[in-house]
Amino acid sequence: MKTRRFTSLQLLLAVLLTALLCLGGGFLLLRAWAGPYAASLVRAVKLVEDKFVGEYDETAAVDAALEALVDGLGDRWSYYLTEEEYAAQNQRRTNQYVGIGVTVSYEREDGLLIQAVTAGGPAEAAGLRAGEVITAVDGTSLAGEARYDGASLIQGEAGTAVSLEILDAGGASRTVEVKRASIPSDPVDYELLEGDVGYVALANFYDDSARYLEEAVTELQAQGARALIFDMRNNGGGYLRELTDMLDFLLPEGPIFITRDKAGHEEITYSDAACVDLPMVVLVNANTYSAAEFFAAELQEWGVAKIVGEPTSGKGYSQQTFGLPHGGAVSISTASYYTGSGTSLIGTGLTLDQEVYLTDQGDAQLEAALALLNG
């Protein structure tokens, strides 16, 4: 079937048509309810449905129209998601993935080399071990270039089974059936560095990230950490609740975050008196966005942390994602946010205590942070 894509003014918002039908009214009701622009959009949809003589892919047309609508807002932080993209985002934000719980590499020509097996995961339960090779998935050989397709073949829906051909370290082959499951993905890496400085790298602010960070900091304190480095480089942010939980854990009593919606309603989040009383440094770069930026800004504002790295973008709006009847979603900016003292980062980004850029040797930003804490 030939696919034709339409502009936003030709097709925009089959969703509004759905809303109209749900209201049980007609065109005049829609015009009174949503205004002439929304009525025009629905009118265009109906004209295409009733008059257009060519063939077109309805899903592609609606996706293009909705994407054009969001692009027309001129807001770099708002975006449209197709049904597939929306499902993938929802899965990613759980800090879990569906799989069997193995880490693999492509160094073997005969298949996927298992480098690690997740404790408590399906692969461990099925007896898979590091050092073994997955040579086939559901009868499909992974030899040669086919091994690069192995990970996608192993993936699937939680609860379904996958049949694997396994080659053990001694050269013996066996067939193993493994049931796929949702496996937690820890967004935190941490270790105790020289000078008893605790290092915590956070990948995102999605589900359970605050709990993982608190556990990491608590463990580092038990190991004798006398200072902390939080690595927020390449962290695109996430959920506000995770950010404020982290700040509440780290900071003493007082306001730590402010949001204001379109109507001007303001909500202030407060921290309790319990805190982590250690000197801190936050590492940032140009890909430190949203909650990650405000994490650094709030710690700096309270005087407990220095910020080291590169200038940031200054994202000061929060987005909400709204599912649509056809399966896609729009994520649009619905509130502005501020530090506990009322400071916005829009147009300015973070105020760096030390501006440091990476080179092709070592990690100059981490070294600068260590120098600050060990000096």
CA 237 to chain centre: 7
- Cα radius of gyration rounded to whole Å, the chain: 26
Q: What residues form DSSP beta bridges with 5?
A: none
CA-angle at 112, arms to 108 and 115, nearest 5°: 95
User: Could you name the CATH architecture of 96-184?
Assistant: Roll (2.30)
CATH code: domain 188-374 is 3.90.226.10
The average pLDDT across 86-109 equals 87
Is there a contact between 283 and 369 (Cβ–Cβ < 8 Å)? yes
The average pLDDT across 283-292 equals 95
Assign residue 308 a region: left if phi > 0, alpha if psi is -120 to 50, beta otherwise?
beta
Write down the domain spans for the chain. Answer: 8-72, 96-184, 188-374
Model-level pTM? 0.78
* Cα–Cα dist 91/306, whole Å: 34
What is the pLDDT, as a whole number, of residue 12?
Answer: 43
* Cα–Cα dist 220/204, whole Å: 20
Is 90 exceeded by the pLDDT of residue 116? no
The average pLDDT across 316-327 equals 91
Note the pLDDT tens digit of each residue in 138-175. 999 999 999 988 988 998 888 999 999 999 989 999 99
Q: Which strands sit side by side in the sheet containing 305-309, from one edge to the other?
A: 188-193, 197-202, 227-231, 280-284, 305-309, 354-355
Which residues are CB-contacts of 204 (< 8 A; sequence separation ≥ 6)?
A: 95, 187, 235, 236, 237, 238
What is the pLDDT, as a whole number, of residue 35?
Answer: 65
